[in-house]
């Protein structure tokens, strides 16, 4: 899974796919929940959002507010309040407005305990 960055979310959500809220939320569980989608995003520690390949998750800009630990993996960060850690699924490529590209590999934000 390829980490793309932290982006601002708003009431007009950046991803229109399913959203789940879970005490087991982590980058790995969110990826599994969003199988079949191009993107997945983690927000507010416990929320997971799925996004289609044509959605522009950069439209509200980047955020510095991805600071909350994941409810299912306290060593990882799962977004923040209206801030989403966005990942691209393996096999998909994303070219954002800033020119970032990722199609494979594993990248995750982890913090010391």
Q: Walk across the sheet containing 19-21 and list its strands.
A: 2-8, 83-88, 39-43, 47-51, 19-21
Per-residue pLDDT of the chain (113 residues; tens, 9 = 90+): 599 999 999 999 999 999 999 999 999 999 999 999 999 999 999 999 999 999 999 999 999 999 999 999 999 999 999 999 999 999 887 655 433 333 333 344 444 44
**Domain extent listing, the chain:** 2-88
Residue-level pLDDT at 97? 41
Instruction: Note the pLDDT of residue 105.
Output: 36
pLDDT of residue 93: 75
Provide the pLDDT for residue 94: 65
């Amino acid at each position: 899974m390829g980490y793309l960055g932290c982006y601002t979310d708003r009431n007009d959500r950046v991803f229109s796919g399913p959203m789940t809220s879970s005490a087991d939320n982590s980058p790995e569980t969110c990826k599994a929940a969003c199988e079949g989608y191009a993107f997945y995003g983690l927000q507010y520690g416990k929320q997971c959002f799925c996004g289609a390949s044509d959605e522009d998750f950069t439209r509200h800009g980047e955020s510095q507010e991805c600071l909350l630990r994941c409810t299912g993996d306290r060593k990882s960060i799962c977004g923040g309040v209206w801030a989403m850690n966005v990942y691209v699924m393996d096999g998909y490529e994303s070219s954002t407005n800033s020119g970032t590209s990722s199609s494979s590999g594993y990248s995750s934000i982890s913090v010391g305990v």
